[in-house]
Amino acid sequence: MHVAIIGGASTIGTTVAYTLSGLAPRLDVSLVDINDGAAWAHGTDIEHASYHFAHAPGADEGHDSETAGSVRSATPEEIAELDPDLLIFNAAAPQPDDATDPSAREAELERNRSIVEDVAESLRPLDPTPLLVVTNPIDRLVYDFYSLLGWPRRYFLGYSLSETARIADGIADLVDAHRTDVYCPTMGEHGEHMIPVFSRARVDGEPIDVTDAERAELMAYVRDIPFEIAEERGVDETSRWVTSAGVSRVVRTMAAAADDSSVDGTGVEADGGDWTFCLSTPLDGEYGLEDVALGVPVDLDADGVAAIHEWDLDDAEAAELERAAESVQADL
């Protein structure tokens, strides 16, 4: 499988490439960036890193010379020749130094929209290819790409899984559990209108009771923590670690579906049905919504979204989802 990361010299793009080279060494990765020197330098450095991944005790056999993939660089003009199986869109305009509050994602819209238009032009010669948007604001940009390229909507995905990891941490503190035993999916917008689906939250597989006050506290934690991190590290250092782990999880899920001949078009549910994850994708009637992209529970296959689940939401969650749709639609 060949993954092309557009904006491949970015903080997130390089961290995704490094993470994949350790955890999914069979993949071929291309770092596609207008800054071709930086893309080449990161690609070369990561290829050197793969030498140590291959020789450490317990190294996966995917690192051996028969199966190992590569990390290369390319310019945006070369995308069509790369013939990728999966595109990750991570290109962005530089952030202002004060972009450290929750309005920062939406403030990126106009700056990044013109990059989306340029990149969509360079993708036009490709056959429909799954495209995972990481650049903010993801829901609006997923829908922009979908409108500009006109490929079937299953090819368009937006990454918002970091929130699931953050809320697991918040709930783990609340109930004195380990974060890896906690599951609470988040739907809606990647931003102010993010919706933790408490009605499906589980700790050790069991439902949990969360009071209104605790919900509000958890929401505030998930909303603010990436910006507290950016404030301490600088806006060039967004939440690269959780984001690259989550993006790699999506890529590895799609690669597993591509490799698994038992996947018959119904897709794979991430880590089994109890841990289904939510990604942003254009809606066409699901949850009573259309002409908008929002985070919803999906099954994935090698071509993107194989199925969208329509969960029974409680009244508050359903009302929040409508508010999220209105917020995104106002900008489309």
Ligand X SMILES: NC(=O)C1=CN([C@@H]2O[C@H](COP(=O)(O)OP(=O)(O)OC[C@H]3O[C@@H](n4cnc5c(N)ncnc54)[C@H](O)[C@@H]3O)[C@@H](O)[C@H]2O)C=CC1
Ligand Y SMILES: O=C([O-])CC(=O)C(=O)O
Q: Which position's Cβ is nearest ligand X?
A: 10
| Chain residues that interact with ligand Y, rule: CB under 6 A | 104-105, 136, 162, 226, 238-239, 243
Report whether 273 belongs to an annotated binding site. Answer: no
CB of 261 vs ligand X, minimal distance in Å: 32
**DSSP string computed for 174-242:** HHT--GGGEE--EEE-SSTTEEE-GGG-EETTEE----HHHHHHHHHHHHHHHHHHHHHH-TTS-SHHH
10 binds ligand X (CB under 6 A): yes
- Contact segment (CB under 6 A) with ligand X among 52-60, 88-96, 201-209, 267-275 equals 88-96
Count CB-CB contacts under 10 A for residue 107. Answer: 15
33 binds, among ligand X, ligand Y, none (CB under 5 to 8 A by kind): ligand X
Chain positions 89 to 118 lying near ligand X, rule: CB under 6 A, are 90-92, 94, 108, 112, 115, 118
Does the annotation place 262 within a ligand binding site?
no
Active-site residue among 42, 63, 190, 193? 190
CB closer to ligand X out of 136 and 210: 136
One-letter amino acid identity for 3?
A: V
DSSP 142: H
Least distance between ligand X and beta carbon 267 (Å)? 22
* 11 labeled part of a ligand binding site: yes
DSSP state letter for 95 = P
Rounded Cα distance between 208 and 2, Å, is 41
Question: DSSP label at 101?
Answer: S
Mark out the alpha helices in the chain (DSSP H runs).
11-23, 36-55, 79-82, 104-107, 109-123, 138-149, 162-175, 212-233, 240-259, 315-329
Distance (Å, rounded) from C-alpha 164 to C-alpha 157?
Answer: 16
Look-up of token digits 């993949």: 27
- 8-state DSSP, 283: E
Q: How far is the CB of 329 from ligand X (least distance, A)?
A: 19
Q: Is 37 annotated as a binding residue?
A: no
Closest by CA to 275, choosing from 202, 175, 192, 187, is 202
Q: What is the nearest approach in angstroms of ligand X to the Cβ of residue 95?
A: 7
Q: From the list ligand X, ligand Y, none, which binds 90 (C-beta under 5 to 8 Å, kind-based)?
A: ligand X
Count the residues of the shown chain that bind ligand X, applying the rule CB under 6 A: 32
Binding region for ligand X (CB under 6 A) out of 21-29, 233-241, 262-270, 311-319: 233-241
DSSP 55: H
Q: Does 255 bind ligand X (CB under 6 A)?
A: no
Q: Could you tell me the smallest distance in angstroms from the CB atom of residue 69 to ligand Y?
A: 27
Residue placing its CB nearer to ligand Y in the complex, 167 or 292: 167
Can you read off the two tokens belonging to residue 252?
Answer: 């590895």
Angle at 272 between CA 266 and CA 276, to 5 degrees: 80
123 binds ligand X (CB under 6 A): no
Whether residue 190 lies in the annotated active site: yes
Least Å from the CB of residue 178 to ligand X = 23
Please state the φ and ψ torsions of residue 132, each to the nearest 5 degrees: -100, 115
177 known ligand binder: no
* 158 in a known ligand binding site: no
Contacts with ligand X by CB under 6 A lie at: 6-7, 9-12, 32-35, 76, 90-92, 94, 108, 112, 115, 118-119, 134-136, 138, 159-160, 162, 190, 236, 238-239, 243
Supply the residues annotated as catalytic: 190
* Binding residue numbers: 7-13, 33, 112, 134-136
* Binding residue numbers for NAD(+): 7-13, 33, 112, 134-136
